[in-house]
Amino acid sequence: MLVLTAKPVKAELRQADISPFTPDLENDKAILIKGWNEDELGEILNDFVEQDLSAFVAFRIEIQKRFESSFALTFPQDIHPDEFVSLINYLRYPFGFDLTGRSIVVAGQTTLNSDFDGLPKSVEGEQASLYLPENNERNDLVYLQTESGVTLAKSCNEGVWRRVKEVRLSSAVESLVSEEHPPYDRIASPPE
């Protein structure tokens, strides 16, 4: 297991547009990744951690190798939901990596709470899977699907989740999460 830690920051450096956040040491946030090797994943995570995180509370990432090119990330000290969503996107579209001919699959899992800005109150307390939509041409969208079948989308450049009709869940994401035991097997097509 490899552990990366973001540097602690001074409270006065917090940006006004970032919501207050109290880390939950009992959080269940996790990210599954397939397609990077261990060295590449380490470099991508180091790059992410070294970005300007002055607005966020320090966090720690634990990396567990699952298969040859498949990993699970957990956050024992929690991670701000905005950073969590950004990391899911960054793991698929990192800076400085040639993605030509690569099959990179990323999915997150968590219980939703009021720390997730812009979510309808009706989904708080639900388990949710976060993933990049199939045929994602914008490279900044993250989708969220709750256990009750509500599907929402958010651009990494915007602060609001919006309802979407199409699930856009790829078979690669379904396959990635099905390799794992609960809680990762919760991604599913919405109820009919």
Contacts 24+ apart (CB under 8 A), 88-92: 88/31, 88/130, 88/131, 88/132, 88/142, 89/132, 89/139, 89/140, 89/141, 89/142, 89/156, 90/44, 90/48, 91/31, 91/33, 91/36, 91/41, 91/44, 92/132
Distances, alpha carbon 152 to alpha carbons 4, 137, 166, 185, in Å: 30, 17, 9, 19
- Domain assignment present for residue 63? The answer is yes
Domain that holds residue 125: 2-6+24-186
Residue in this structure with the two tokens 């869940």, named with its chain if needed: 169
- Domain assignment present for residue 19? The answer is no
- Domain assignment present for residue 13? The answer is no
Q: How many domains does the chain have?
A: 1
- Domain assignment present for residue 191? The answer is no
- Domain assignment present for residue 159? The answer is yes
- Domain assignment present for residue 49? The answer is yes
What local confidence, expressed as pLDDT, does residue 188 receive? 44
Give the pTM: 0.83
Which ranges of the chain have pLDDT less than 50?
7-16, 181-192
Which residue from 93, 95, 75 is spatially nearest to 30, judged by alpha carbons?
Answer: 75
- Domain assignment present for residue 103? The answer is yes
What local confidence, expressed as pLDDT, does residue 161 receive? 93
